[in-house]
Structure 1
Amino acid sequence: MTVSDLMRALLQDSYGEARDVLAFDDIPVPEPGEGEVRVRVHAAALNAADVYIMRGRPTIGRLAFGLPRPRQPIRGQDLAGVVDAVGPGVTRLSVGDRVAAEGDGALAEYACLKEALPVRVAASLPLAEAAAVPLAGVTALQAVRVGGVRSGHRVLVNGAAGGVGSFAVQLAAANGAEVTGVCGARNAETVLSLGAARVIDYAAEDFVGTGPYDVVVDLAGNRTLRELRTALAPDGTLVLSSGNGTPMMGPLWRNAAASLTSPLTGRRLRPLLARTSRDEVGYLFSRIARGDLRPLIGRTYPFEEAVEALAHVSEGHARGKVVVTLREE
């Protein structure tokens, strides 16, 4: 095996915190199989989901992630890059296409993905920005749709300065809603610039008593269902999209309670398990091209500092998206 047959990747062989369980190594460059394309990764965007998988929390998630260690050793789920090889049966994509996708193993120099996943990226959109869109952007889009956000609605986004929240604020405002964003004081101007009409500093004011709101999008997972219902109008909708909860079960009990009690309260309590689709990522890219949506990138890290990037996201207060750059365009 020659040096050119190897690639650099960020690997994990046990569950825990970033600085304890992540390390770089050289591993074989993957070959695309039937219906797969290989992407030369230029940028990878990090998400809260990466932290949950890295920690193996909630513990029940290990049934899917892998026991006793992650089944997929390469962290990262959102990537953008250039197709550099195609497997048998691939017809939609070609070598040289600029693409972005949600796919496992983003923090590596190359990644193989099913052809159905990647979306072509226009030449006008930097790949670092494209990487920030798939998981967070689609989660926000689905949250706004599940909430039925429309013109005239009063909408509260709890966690407005984060990766998903920054998209949700923009999408809700574009639908004509009056958006209130909940975030820290240092991010207030940023959230206002995204289209929020008002910002509540969670350290200085309790948003629960500031309603009623037609829609509450809870991305922080730091308030009880009772408190969140209090903020809703009598016929309002609560959208729950957070992995926070108990160490063992995560948000499962909370989401189950929301589904069971929703018919009894007169309010709609809607847990959201977002599923990224190529069409919805493409739709978001079209909005970005029109100029009425933009990825908010709070920090970028070079590939060699990817462990620190994940440690930063693990702290839970990242502004917008955190992007790791592997190559210059």
Structure 2
Amino acid sequence: MKAIVCHKYGSPDVLELKEIEKPLPLENEVLVKVHAASLNFGNLVLLKGKPFLARFAFGLLRPKYAIPGGDIAGVVEAVGKNLKQFQPGDEVFGDLSSSGWGGFAEYVSVQEFAIALKPTNISFEQAAASPMASVTALQGLRDKGMIKTGQKVLIYGASGGVGTFAVQIAKSFGAEVTGVCSTRNVEIMRSIGADLIIDYTKEDFTQTKERYDLILGVNGSNSISAYKHVLKPNGNFVHVGGAESQMFRSLVFGPFISMTGSKKISNLLQRANQNDLMYVKELLETGKVKPIIDKRYKLSEVSEAFRYFLEGHAQGKVILPI
């Protein structure tokens, strides 16, 4: 089979398309013929080996997982003899980040807890766009942010993969959602139902009179004090992604701020979860959430896909049809 292989940390140029042996499922694994995969921030960590602390999970000197790729959608080809949840022919999607990665390939053998039945009303590409980004948004809003109906929620970095899901999932909880994005992404915000839109090239969200119950920081390099300033008393700021300096400040100062005042500052470390994936599946099937796809690249163009992704301006998800 064809697969993208990475044997050292570095730029997208270290990624190689190679012919390797097709995997066989172990007794507790499912063999999936991959129809589509997508790029995520976790793929960048696996590629670059940064931040350095991540290497303790991904490999200190070189990548522990030779084939990158977390999000996939495809068709079950075979199942281990001990498994009952899936059958050959089932259409599935999932997040492989907690079960060995390996999604940038024509086939992958994966533990069944990493996948779920694909929503029947969306394509393989749309399904591959969904798992990691949607579950990240869900866990940030529901588990860390403790979102409630009627709250005012701000999504900073609302036009990317996690951000577009976060806007829609927050709406599904009955929140009033403000999306922060650039001018080129305003129409995307309207199309996914944002109640209010702040164009950060024209307006500073910290200078408005509005205050929020929950802020999800998906991208950007704003200071923690800036987010704290626009939180209501008892409000929550959840750091999901953005500049490394911002992550460091939220990790170091967040607990102190949370202990000494009513406003809470926390970080999300997303974890693949089949129950959460099935929750998102229902949102997709009922039309409450729709994946936004920016660009598609062939498997042989994966280096180009990563270079585009690294620019940080993707409108939704970057997809690899396989």
TM-score range, shorter chain: over 0.9
Write the mapping of 1:50-199 to structure 2, written as runs, cut at 5 A: 50-103=43-96, 104-145=101-142, 146-199=144-197
Bigger mean CA deviation after superposition, 36-45 or 173-182: 173-182
Q: Which deviates more from structure 2 when the two are superposed, residues 54-63 or residues 198-207?
A: 198-207
Farther-moved stretch of structure 1 (269-278 vs 164-173) = 269-278
SS at match of 1:236: strand
Does residue 1:10 correspond to 2:4, yes or no? yes
Residue 243 of structure 1 and its aligned partner are, at CA, apart by 5.8
Query: Is contact 2:239–2:250 with CA below 8 Å preserved after alignment?
Result: no
Give the corresponding residue for 2:284.
Answer: 288
Q: Check the 8 A contact 1:259/1:271 in 2, yes or no.
A: no
In structure 2, the partner of 1:260 is 256
Give yes or no for contact 1:153–1:214 (8 Å, CA) kept in 2. yes
Runs of 5+ unmatched residues, structure 2 = none
Distance in structure 2 (CA, Å) of the matches to 1:116 and 1:149: 26
1:251 Cα deviation (Å)?
2.7
1:150 aligned counterpart, secondary structure: coil
CA distance in 2, matches of 1:130, 1:70: 27
Amino acid at match of 1:40: K
Structure 1 residue aligned with 2:271: 275
Q: Distance in 1 between matches of 2:272 and 2:55?
A: 21
C-alpha separation between the residues in 1 aligned to 2:233 and 2:102?
A: 44
The 8 Å contact of residues 80 and 130 in structure 1, kept in 2 or not, is answered as yes
- Please give the secondary structure, in 2, of the residue aligned with 1:37: strand
Q: Percent identity?
A: 38
Deviation at 1:302, TM superposition (A): 2.1
C-alpha deviations, 1:245-280, integer Å up to 9, x for none?
15xxx8355323212321112101121112121111
Deviates more, 1:103-112 or 1:216-225: 216-225
Unaligned 5+ segments in structure 1 are 1-6
1:126 partner amino acid: S
Match of 1:4 in 2: none
**Alpha-carbon distance change, 140 to 240 in structure 1, aligned in 2, over 3 angstroms:** same
* Aligned length in residues: 316
Distance (Å, rounded) in 1 between the aligned partners of 2:83 and 2:226: 50
Superposed CA offset, 1:12-67 (max 9, x none): 1111111x211111111111112001110000011111112211110111111112
Contact (CA 8 Å) 2:34, 2:107: kept in 1 or not?
A: yes
2:20 pairs with one of 15, 22, 27: 27
CA contact (8 A) 1:48 1:314 kept: no
Deviation at 1:195, TM superposition (A): 1.3
Contact 2:5 2:17 in 1 (8 A): yes
Q: Do 2:153 and 2:178's aligned partners in 1 also have CA atoms closer than 8 Å?
A: yes
Contact kept, 8 Å, 2:295 with 2:318, in 1: the verdict is yes
Structure 1 range deviating more: 152-161 or 306-315: 306-315
Q: Which moved more, 1:125-134 or 1:35-44?
A: 125-134
Aligned to 2:302: 306
How far, CA to CA, are the matches of 1:286 and 1:234 in structure 2? 33
More deviation in 224-233 or 237-246?
A: 237-246
Cα RMSD between the aligned structures?
1.5
Partners of 2:277 and 2:84 in 1: how far apart?
Answer: 20
Q: How many Å separate the matches in 1 of 2:138 and 2:184?
A: 25
- TM-score, length-normalised on structure 2? 0.94
Cα deviation per residue 1:145-192 (whole Å; 9 max; x = unaligned)? 122222322111000001111011011122222211111110011112
Tell whether 2:207 aligns with 1:238.
no
Aligned residue for 1:28, secondary structure, equals coil
